[in-house]
Amino acid sequence: MALRLSPGTPVYRFNRLRYPDDAPMAIEFATVVATALPSIDSVDTSLYEALERTGHRPMRALQRLRAVLLTPEQADLLKAKPGDAGLLVERLGSLRDGRAVEMSQSYYRSDTYDFVAELSMST
């Protein structure tokens, strides 16, 4: 529903565990409209690079951040304790024409994520 697709529309699902060094930082789940990629194997190390090659890289995204408590499975993958604080980042990426192409959920260890935002007002 988040991608505004009809039931049964093919999608690709990607799951990965991100490591900045030797410690896990995030668990990521991404769902991409299948028409945006020639195959699931066309993605090597970067989903956005693969989408760029086909002209389907999101040009706009709506992102939501919220605090969560890590489940036992998430904590195990992130080398944390069940119930530890985490950060959930949900993103819906759209093409220039407004069609949704990618939806992702990323669960971060709370001690590895630093959020900075710059806000400006136009007159």
Can you give the residue range of the structural domain that contains 28?
11-112
Query: Nearest 5°: phi and psi at 88?
Result: -100, 125
> Would residue 94 count as lying in a domain?
yes
Q: What is the pLDDT of residue 107?
A: 97
Measure the CA angle with vertex 49, ends 44 and 52; round to 5°.
135
CATH of the domain at 105: 3.40.1410.10
- pLDDT at residue 122, rounded to an integer: 67
- Residues, the chain, total? 123
| The pLDDT value given to residue 33 | 95
Tokens of 87: 């950060």
Nearest Cα neighbor of 33 from 73, 3, 71, 76 is 3
For every residue of 16-44, DSSP letters joined together read EEE-SSSS--EEEEEEEEGGGSS-GGG-S
* pLDDT score at 20: 82
- Distance from the Cα of residue 21 to its chain's centroid: 20
Name the pTM for this structure.
0.85
Q: Residue 56 has what pLDDT?
A: 94
Question: For residue 118, is it within any domain?
Answer: no
Q: So what's the pLDDT on residue 59? A: 93
Residue 58 lies in a domain: yes
Q: What is the mean pLDDT of each run of 10 residues along the chain (123 residues)?
A: 88 92 92 93 90 93 94 96 95 93 94 77 65
